Structure 1
């Protein structure tokens, strides 16, 4: 079940809201979320790791995962704050000679209604690990569900998903993923 974002520092939440924009280009009917100012702020950026880590402080993760690309920006910030290592979840990894070294899965449709192939190196996550996934935004949960499938293939323990923004519309997906967020999309 999603925890209230009140556990996260209020100043981080306020700065996330104040630097966020919905953007449209030309005669587009639908906008997109512009989060680029979050990464540009030298005051906000170093506080994102501790704020996201605080959402799972009591669960004692042993490793942090992040899905390319923004999960690979935020995940190391969380891992460094917790004194842990980080594992990148790669998207659509091309064929290589070391395919046996990878755990792989196909995601349910994501926010673009595309399915992706995700992978992690087999030797980086094991049965003793307690895994926390970190990302900037969750919309459908497709990629996070794929990451969870990789964690399960590794016989590791899934702790949940720490995100900046929860945009899920399906409560069942939120519960299955154990989503905890700093903001909900309705706050933007």
Structure 2
């Protein structure tokens, strides 16, 4: 079953990404599986990330409230996603959409193009985000 997750998430969109982006921790797992299945690069979106050295240039954004009502600072090294990249975001579960919205802001700040959010479970509390992001999932939370 685990080996089927990457191809399944990668197949939710017709457009082929050049990069898959996934938030630390479970998003990194499903993101790496998806990137491997598609044969493209993977970038981990880290929480509370700080540059490792002074020369590292990072893109960082603070999320809106997540499912625990936290505001989290996410980021990645600026050179990992470039202008012209097509980025597919992956995660295990989408609830408020805050992490995906933050990811989209980071992708746009990098000058790349956002394809959408591919998730295992769609538990969105704000249905309009399903269209705006857009979000596609393998399972709707109401079926669990």
| Residues 26-41 of structure 1 mapped to structure 2, 5 A cutoff | none
Unaligned runs of 5+ in 1: 1-43
What do the CA deviations read for 1:43-102 (whole angstroms, capped 9, x no partner)?
Answer: x1111101111101x211110000000011010110011010100000012465437510
Counterpart position of 1:184: 140
Larger Rg: 1
Counterpart position of 2:69: 113
Instruction: Provide TM-score, normalisation by structure 2.
Output: 0.95
Could you say what secondary structure the match of 2:68 adopts? coil
Between Structure 1 and Structure 2, the one with more helix by share is: 1
| Distance across 1 between alignment mates of 2:104 and 2:123 | 18
Could you say what secondary structure the match of 2:136 adopts? strand
Instruction: Provide TM-score, normalisation by structure 1.
Output: 0.74
Could you say what secondary structure the match of 1:165 adopts? strand
Counterpart position of 2:93: 137
| Distance across 2 between alignment mates of 1:155 and 1:46 | 32
Alignment RMSD (CA, Å): 1.3
Counterpart position of 1:153: 109
Counterpart position of 2:38: 82
Aligned length: 144
